[in-house]
Amino acid sequence: MISFVSSFSAGLPQPIDFGARANGRRGAIEATQQSDVAGAESSGDRGTAPAETLPQRELSTEGADNESADGLSDEERAIVAELQQTDRTVRAHEQAHLAAAGALARGVSFSFVTGPDGQQYAVGGEVSIDTSPVSGNPEATIQKAQQIRAAANAPANPSGQDRAVAAQASGLEQAARQELAAEQRETFEEQRRAQVEQQNGQAQAGAFSQSSASSPIGQFLSLIA
C-alpha cells in the first residue's frame, strides 16, 4: 500500500528578512556616532566632544528615523506588529489542522523570518497528513476520508492547498463508497445463490420422498409393516 501525504499550508507571504535592512540602517547610525567621537578625540579632549560638535550630534539623532528606546523606528515597529499578527494567525491555522486531524497528522513545520527586532516569526506552516486508503476496508477508508476533509477545512480561512486536500479526500471517499457498494452486491449475490441452492435441494428431497412412497417396493414395505 502506497501512502500519499498531503500538506496543509497557511498560504501566507514568502519569507522576507527584515533584519538585514534594520541592521544596515543601525550600522549607518553607529558609523555617524563613531565619526562624532573621532572628531572629539582629534580636538584634544578624549572624554568630551567639543561644544561646536553638539549641534551636529543632535542633527544626526533627529535623522535616525525617530528611534525609540528599543532601537526601532516607527516603520520597523509597524513591521514587528504585522509579523506578530502573522505569527499568531499561522500558528492558529496549523493548530486547527492538528486538532481535527488527530492521529492522522504526521507533524507540523513552520517557516520563519527574522524581524527588525531580531526575533523569529512564523510566516508559513504545514501539517502533513496520511491520505492513503485503508487496505481491504472501504468503510474505514470512508471514515478516514471524512476526517481528512474536516481537518483540511478546519481553519477559519482554508488556503488553496487546504481546499485541494479536501477535494482529494472527497475523491478518496467516493472511491471507497464504490468499492463498498461492489462488495455489498457481491455479498448479496452469494447469499441469493446459496438460498436458491438450498431451495433446490429441498425440492429434490421432497420429490424423491414422494417417488419412493408411490413405488411398488414402497407399497410392499408398507404392507409388511
Run of H or E residues at 85: helix 74-101
Domain boundaries, the chain: 5-177
State mean pLDDT over 90-112: 94
**What mean pLDDT, rounded, does the chain reach?**
74
> Residue 55 — very low, low, confident or very high, per pLDDT cuts 50/70/90?
very low
| Predicted local confidence at residue 219, as pLDDT | 56
State mean pLDDT over 150-163: 93
Tens-digit pLDDT profile for residues 111-141: 999 999 999 999 999 999 999 999 999 999 9
| Predicted local confidence at residue 193, as pLDDT | 83
Query: What is the Cβ-side half-sphere exposure of residue 151, based on CA atoms within 13 angstroms?
Result: 31
**Can you tell me the distance from the alpha carbon of 130 to that of 7, in angstroms, rounded to the nearest whole number?**
9
pTM over 0.75: no
Cβ neighbours for 16, distance < 8 A, ≥ 6 positions apart: 113
- As given in the structure block, the three cell numbers for residue 207 are 420429490
State residue 41 phi and psi, 5-degree precision. -70, -35
94 close to 126: Cβ distance less than 8 angstroms: yes
According to DSSP, the residues that pair with 121 across neighbouring strands are: 113
- The residue assigned the cell 504545514 is 126
| Predicted local confidence at residue 166, as pLDDT | 95
**Can you tell me the distance from the alpha carbon of 46 to that of 193, in angstroms, rounded to the nearest whole number?**
109
> Residue 66 — very low, low, confident or very high, per pLDDT cuts 50/70/90?
low
**Can you tell me the distance from the alpha carbon of 52 to that of 34, in angstroms, rounded to the nearest whole number?**
16
Tens-digit pLDDT profile for residues 9-51: 444 444 444 444 444 444 433 433 444 444 444 444 444 444 3
- The residue assigned the cell 520597523 is 76
Listed ranges 4-13, 165-174, 195-204; the one with the highest mean pLDDT: 165-174
| Predicted local confidence at residue 192, as pLDDT | 85
State mean pLDDT over 193-222: 68
- Give the closest residue to 90 by CA, choosing from 127, 64, 65, 61: 127
What percent of the chain is predicted at pLDDT more than 70? Answer: 60
**Can you tell me the distance from the alpha carbon of 101 to that of 174, in angstroms, rounded to the nearest whole number?**
20
- As given in the structure block, the three cell numbers for residue 191 are 447469499
| Predicted local confidence at residue 134, as pLDDT | 95
